[in-house]
Every structure is written in structure tokens, then in C-alpha cells.
Amino acid sequence: MPFDAFVTGAVETSLNTLLKDDAESQRRLGRLRGKVISVTINEFGKTLIFIFSQQIDVLAVYEGEVDCELALNLTVLPELRQQANLTQLIKADKLALEGDIQLAQQFSALLSGLKPDVEEKLSQYTGDIVAHTLVSGLKTGAQRIRQGAKRRQRDLAEVITEEWKLAPQALEIAHFADQVDDLKSDVARFEARLDQLLGRR
């Protein structure tokens, strides 16, 4: 099976499975019915075409006309789920958009509503108690990893600023900023006084 066909098939199956279980997402899909959106992932130079009808069809190649074109980096993809982020992403040059921005917002709203209930799916195979225990354990583990990463980051920042003196501390930066503000005020007063003196002559 060619790689493109594998990727489009996997994306299509995943999206339609999530859509099937959620009436609210079906309503959001209705707004996009008959529309075509292309999403280009910059790192791979690959484009996925999303065709909206009763379901979502995902293609790698499409001959017809596209209503909205998006180009973005893979790291931006999770942010696309937040509809409010679209204009910020465009302004920050993290997202290139051609076509109807409203379609892009509706697509973002559709994606944000697709939240898989992993515990529910897992319980069909393992039972409720085992599924709940596994999912809770994974969430706790992920939280500990995040906390550990934050702690390591904080420790590294302390070593860099206090022990190795490679970067200034927060108070030093604030003091420097205050000095810069004072200097700006002094220069402004000096310029005003100079203009006044030159104006008299």
C-alpha cells in the first residue's frame, strides 16, 4: 500500500469514527457539507484534501476546485483545534491561508469537538474497572512527567543564572530595564531643554 494512501486512509477512518459517536460534531460537519479544504504540511511537502459530505473523505490528490487552502508546520496542528488561535497563527506567519477564513474556522471548530473517549473504547475490551485504572494511571504518569520536566527546567535555569552566571537573573533584568527607562527620560528632558535653548537663539 503506498504511503499516501495509508496516511489518508488512517486520517479518514480516525475522523469518521470520532464523528460517528458525537451528535454535536455531526452538526458541525453539516456546516461544511459540500466544501473542500486542503491542508499542506510544510515539513513533508504533503497535502491532505478534506472533502465534506455525510462523512469526511481524505485524499492525497484532488483535481477539483478547493474552497480553502491551509499550509502549516506539523507543530502548529494541535493549535488548529483552538478556533481562537487561527488569526494569531496567521499574524505570526505560522499558518498560511488562502480562501474563506470562515471555512477554516468551521474546520477548526469541527476538529476541536472531536475528543475521543479512550476510557469508554478501552472498556469495551477490558471492562470498566481495568479501563479506568489504566487511563487514570496514564494521566497520572503524564502529569508526573510534565512536573518533572518543569522541575528540571527550573533547576537548569537556576544553574545557568546563579552558579554559572551565563544569564542574568530576573531582578537584574528588571533593574536594567528600569535604568534604560530612566536614561530614556533623561534623554527626553535633555532634548526638550536643548530645543528650548536653541529656540531662544
Per-residue pLDDT tens digits for 162-172: 777 777 877 88
Place 25 in a pLDDT band, splitting at 50, 70 and 90: confident
Q: Compute the CA torsion angle 67, 71, 77, 81 (nearest 10 deg).
A: -30
Rounded to 10 degrees, the C-alpha dihedral 18/30/58/106 comes to -90
The 3-state secondary structure of the chain reads CCHHHHHHHHHHHHHHHHHHCCHHHHHHHHHHCCCEEEEEECCCCEEEEEEECCCEEEECCCCCCCCEEEEECHHHHHHHHCCCHHHHHHHCCCEEEEECHHHHHHHHHHHHHCCCCHHHHHHHHHCHHHHHHHHHHHHHHHHHHHHHHHHHHHHHHHHHHHHCCCCCCHHHHHHHHHHHHHHHHHHHHHHHHHHHHHHHC
* 92-96, 128-132, 157-161, 185-189: range with highest mean pLDDT: 185-189
Instruction: Compute the distance between CA of residue 102 and CA of residue 2 in angstroms, rounded to an integer.
Output: 33
Digit-coded pLDDT (tens) for 65-119: 999 999 988 888 777 777 677 888 888 888 889 998 889 888 888 888 777 666 7
pLDDT at 51 (0 to 100): 95
